[in-house]
A and B are shown apart, each in its own frame.
Chain A
Amino acid sequence: MELVSPGLGLIFWMVVTFGIVFFILKKFAWPSIMQALDEREHHIEEALRAADIAHEEMKKLKLDNELLLKEAKEERDIIMSEARKIRDKMLEEARIKANSEADRIVESAKERIENERKAAMTEIKNQIAKISIDIAEKILREKLQDTKAQHDYIERAIEDKHLN
């Protein structure tokens, strides 16, 4: 029976003690503990969310970078191919120009050579004419030394004139 008959005194002390413990803990311990726990949980949650966002952003940034890189590469390729085209065109043009220039030079050279040749021919003709006259003069002078010869000649010349 002793085991199951609670003592009045112990009930009294238990009510008092538990009441005091409950009061003190409720007033001074639990609120600050719960508040700190809540605060920390929020803090951790926010930190995790922020990390997630940062991660997501990094991913996006990386993707952007890759895209940018790809675009840059493409642009480079385009620029390169264009440059090659321009170069080719320039080379072609230069060759054509050079060819035509060369043709022109050759042409003018030919012309000049022709002119020179013609001039030379004229000179030679003149010289020959002069030399011929000189020789004819000399011959005439030789032939017309005596008066008879001079007569003959004049006669022949008049005859020629008459004939014409």
Chain B
Amino acid sequence: MAIKKGKKALSFGVSLVFMLLTIGLQPAFANEAIQEEHPFEPEFNAGKMIIEHIIDSYEWHIATVGDKHISVPLPVILYDDGTFHFFMSSKFHHGQSSYKGFEIAHEGSSKGKIVKKVEDGTFVRPYDFSITKNAFALFVSSTLMIIIFLSVSKAYKRTRKHAPKGIQSIVEPVIVFIRDEVARTSIGEKHYQRFLPYLLTVFFFIFFNNLLGLIPIFPLGANITGNLAITGVLAFFTFLMTSLKGNKNYWAHIFNTPGVPWWLKLPLPLMPIIEIVGMFTKPFVLMVRLFANITAGHIIILGFISLIFVFGKVNIFAGYGMSILSITLAIFINFLELLVAFIQAYVFTLLSAIYFGMAVEEHSHEEQHH
């Protein structure tokens, strides 16, 4: 038994060496080493490992050495039965124990979430406002973003009519691109300035979090933009702005679509129904597209890394051999992800701009007659 345990520790040691070797190259992987729910479970479950990396969690897991988990505890904030509960996630001992009657569910529909056992044996979920891994990473990236853009803004006040310098010259082409190619062309000369701050914020917010999600060092590297809560809120803001800034034409277009035969509107309001559904599918698609693209990227990279350990379990040399191929492919995907980081931010911003353009368009009904 002792020998077996020693062997296992050795194999994990090898895994750790690999992890350290690939730390600079394997973003999603490096800061979140393979995790074992049960120290006694000898199998390496690639699917489980990947899911654990891309979903939110109450603690920031950094590595597992032997049976020890190295992780940064994050604050848990719960609202239950009229009282707030504040404590650190380390009280759960990596999900192994319960605290104040709360525990992390291991199965069921609320798996991975904090639940409370009630008297009849069922579980209820309290209102959970915990600063989770994603929330924490969100704070970090947002702070970074604010610092960068305030310094850029200050730089603009200083340089005025002169050429940009430093970070200014990195963000300037992108700002100009968003202004001229996205806002101006999609919304039109007359209204684009109203939406520009939002479009710029959304673009850089997504772009920043996409890029930071690829950097595998502690306060960065969380799968922020690959989380439905994040993309959903962004899409909701776009929906809100489209609906609030929509003019007469926009609503007329929805409820009384010009240029379609009357029998599509009366007695059965087919077109209005389609248009109203369309109002909601547009932001829904925005939400899912960003989530799916970023999550898929992370899954692929993690999948390639998992291959090393899957092969390593069979034969340690197969693991070494596989690592060369896996790392090569993962690097390739990483470069691809850099591109995707920009493209997805651009697509989200462009589509938002197009929706805003529809909302403030002024001559839509006249165009139908031409």
Binding site for B on A (CB under 8 A): 1-15, 17-18, 20-22, 24-26, 28-37, 39-40, 43
Contacts and interface: CB of A to CB of B under 8 A. Distances in A.
Contact of B237 (A18, A25, A28, A30): A18
Contacts of B232: 6, 11
Given A6-B232, A8-B128, A37 B175 contact: yes
A3 B233 contact: no
A28 B197 contact: no
B132 interface: yes
Contacts, number: 124
Nearest to A14: B233
A37 B142 contact: no
A1 to B, nearest CB: 6
B31 to A, nearest CB: 19
Residue of A12, A20, A25, A33 contacting most chain B CB atoms (<10 Å): A33
A28 B197 CA distance: 11
B135 A13 contact: yes
Given A10-B134, A14-B229, A25-B197, A3 B55 contact: yes
B229 to A, nearest CB: 4
Interface of B: 51, 54-56, 77, 109, 111-113, 127-132, 134-135, 138-139, 142, 145-146, 149-150, 152-153, 156-157, 159-162, 172, 175-176, 179, 193, 196-198, 200-201, 205, 227-230, 232-234, 237, 295
B51 A17 contact: no
A28 B201 CA distance: 12
Contacts of B135: 9-10, 13-14, 17
Nearest to B52: A2
A46 B252 CA distance: 43
A40 B160 contact: yes
Contact of A21 (B111, B142, B227): B142
Contacts of A17: 135, 138-139, 142
Nearest to A10: B229
Contacts of A15: 233
In order of increasing CB-CB distance, the 5 nearest A-B pairs are: A6-B229, A36-B156, A10-B229, A13-B135, A29-B149
A36 B154 CA distance: 10
